[in-house]
Amino acid sequence: METNSYSLSGNIVDLRAETIFKGRVHVEDGIIVKVEEDNTVTEDHYILPGLVDAHIHIESSMLIPSEFARLASVHGTVATVSDPHEIANVLGIEGINYMIANGKKVPFKFYFGASSCVPATPFETAGFELGVEQLDELLAKDEIKYMSEMMNFPGVINRDEFVMRKLEVAKKYGKPIDGHA
């Protein structure tokens, strides 16, 4: 079986050691197999780990996930922690499922969450509500990695029954709960 091997040369950014050194990164079948220092390297570009956007609402970019990935990856972003809150407000679970399915079409990592506050306030009339049952359905999915953005912090502090039931669903599946600060 033939392997796909190549090397990248340049200034390697070592985030752990907080150093930059001339060297080569050897890749086989898409996996880094060796990083070596080599002061004879003449390439002057920088090689660094891919960036992760730790909080984004992709829909705010007005792009579908696959197109967002195409544009973000050329700037070094290789993954996002994504709260599909806006599409959930308009299309509910169907919208979140679309985001997941579309994101699977590209070699980019999307870590989608279950939007905890849809609508964001009781005064909104966007079209959908994600209650305890809907969050249970979402959090049961392997593609949903966490409960996103519990914006109702007064409900958490005052132990509002509805808010606590939502948080219990995330705990039931062992998924992290993202706060809103």
Give the confidence band of 145 by pLDDT, cuts at 50, 70, 90.
very high
Q: With 80 as the cut, is the pLDDT of residue 181 above it?
A: no
Give the confidence band of 1 by pLDDT, cuts at 50, 70, 90.
low
For residue 163, what is the enclosing H or E element? helix 161-172
Q: Please tell me the pTM assigned to this model.
A: 0.84
Q: With 90 as the cut, is the pLDDT of residue 126 above it?
A: no
Q: With 70 as the cut, is the pLDDT of residue 134 above it?
A: yes
Go through the domains of the chain in sequence order and give each one's CATH number: 5-47 (no CATH), 51-179 (3.20.20.140)
Residues 6+ apart with CB under 8 A from 24: 7, 8, 9, 34, 35, 36, 38, 41
Task: Classify residue 96 as exposed, middle or buried by CB count within 10 Å of its CB (0-12, 13-18, 19+).
Answer: buried
For residue 157, what is the enclosing H or E element? helix 153-157
Give the confidence band of 2 by pLDDT, cuts at 50, 70, 90.
confident
Can you name the residues that pair with 6 across neighbouring β-strands?
A: 27
Residue 122 has a pLDDT of 75
Residue 130 has a pLDDT of 93
Angle (CA) 8 13 16, round 5° = 130
Please give the share of the chain, as a percent, with pLDDT higher than 90: 88
Q: Determine the Cα–Cα distance for residues 88 and 76; give it in Å rounded to an integer.
A: 28
Mean pLDDT of 56-67: 96
Mean pLDDT of 156-180: 96
Q: What is the mean pLDDT of the chain?
A: 94
Mean pLDDT of 37-46: 94
Give the confidence band of 95 by pLDDT, cuts at 50, 70, 90.
very high
